[in-house]
Structure 1
Amino acid sequence: MTADYDDIPGTHVFDAARSRQGYHLNMFCMSLRVAGNREAFKADEASYLDRFPMSGEQRQAVLARDWNRMLGLGGNVYYTAKLAATDGLTFQELAALMTGMALEDYRDMMLRGGRPIAGNRSKSEWSNG
């Protein structure tokens, strides 16, 4: 079943279905609020992830720091930001990585009001060529 908002380019709406899908991924991310957990994760990422029954895809996305994939697999951006912070990234740096832009370019775009709406409302606006 699809929702109307599934047609928004580059967007993973965190709805009830995505919340259920990403529950264990998000609980892992939230565990990083605790200093001892951050230390344990940094010491041995793979072993620490064994504490959470994530899917193989979710686990691989975490290990690869594939931020957009984490969102597609049910991650919530505010939870995955805990992982980014553990890596020493600011939220602005994370957003730049997720958009594929240099930090300065991302910052400048946001100061100018963000991405233009044209071509970003619906995947049907994208050309296939």
Structure 2
Amino acid sequence: MSDIHDYLAEFDDIPGTRVFTAARARQGYHLNQFAMGLMKADNRERFRADEKAYLDDWKLSDQAKSAVLARDYNALLDLGGNIYFLSKIFSTDGISFAEAVSTMTDMDFPTYREMMNQGGRSPEGQRSIKEKR
């Protein structure tokens, strides 16, 4: 390995996976702080009362605000969101972790749940984006 940047760049070659690196942590700092703020009941109440107004109180990009409002968890991960911090959003919405994660796949929740109960996704399939293998 020539340097740490080459090593970290290899994570971007894993299909369907976003590895939470230090760079993603820096990128998503304000997004993750917003999500962790939902641990407080009064913040959850304010968020549910007027999501857009509540988001405007945070130093978030318009892209992040739009992704939160759309509950586009894949976009939030791309913006540096940490799945464990983002789970505070699904909790606020009253949905389970598994149900929220199913929205990040091409499956509905019952199909996703069944797949996971059967042992999860097969390790067979595309393993590298750039090598198309």
- TM-score between the two structures when normalised by the length of structure 2: 0.88
Moved more, 112-121 or 89-98: 112-121
User: 2-side partners of 1:100 and 1:67: how far apart?
Assistant: 13
User: 2-side partners of 1:122 and 1:115: how far apart?
Assistant: 16
The correspondence for 2:41, drawn from 32, 35, 39, is 35
Deviations 1:10-44 (A, max 9, x none): 11111000000000000000000011000000111
Q: State the shift of 1:125 in Å.
A: 2.9
Unaligned runs of 5+ in 1: none
User: 1-side partners of 2:118 and 2:82: how far apart?
Assistant: 26
User: 2-side partners of 1:108 and 1:89: how far apart?
Assistant: 17
The correspondence for 2:121, drawn from 89, 104, 115, is 115
Percent of aligned pairs with the same amino acid? 52
1:33 touches 1:82 (CA, 8 Å); kept in 2? yes
Unaligned runs of 5+ in 2: none
User: 1-side partners of 2:122 and 2:98: how far apart?
Assistant: 19
Q: State the shift of 1:100 in Å.
A: 2.7
Q: State the shift of 1:96 in Å.
A: 1.0
User: 2-side partners of 1:107 and 1:41: how far apart?
Assistant: 29
User: 2-side partners of 1:50 and 1:31: how far apart?
Assistant: 14
Q: State the shift of 1:48 in Å.
A: 0.6
* Equivalences, count: 126
What is the correspondence of 1:1-129 to structure 2 with a 5 Å cutoff?
A: 3-123=9-129, 124-125=131-132
User: 2-side partners of 1:16 and 1:120: how far apart?
Assistant: 26
Moved more, 98-107 or 76-85: 98-107
User: 1-side partners of 2:36 and 2:72: how far apart?
Assistant: 17
Moved more, 112-121 or 69-78: 112-121
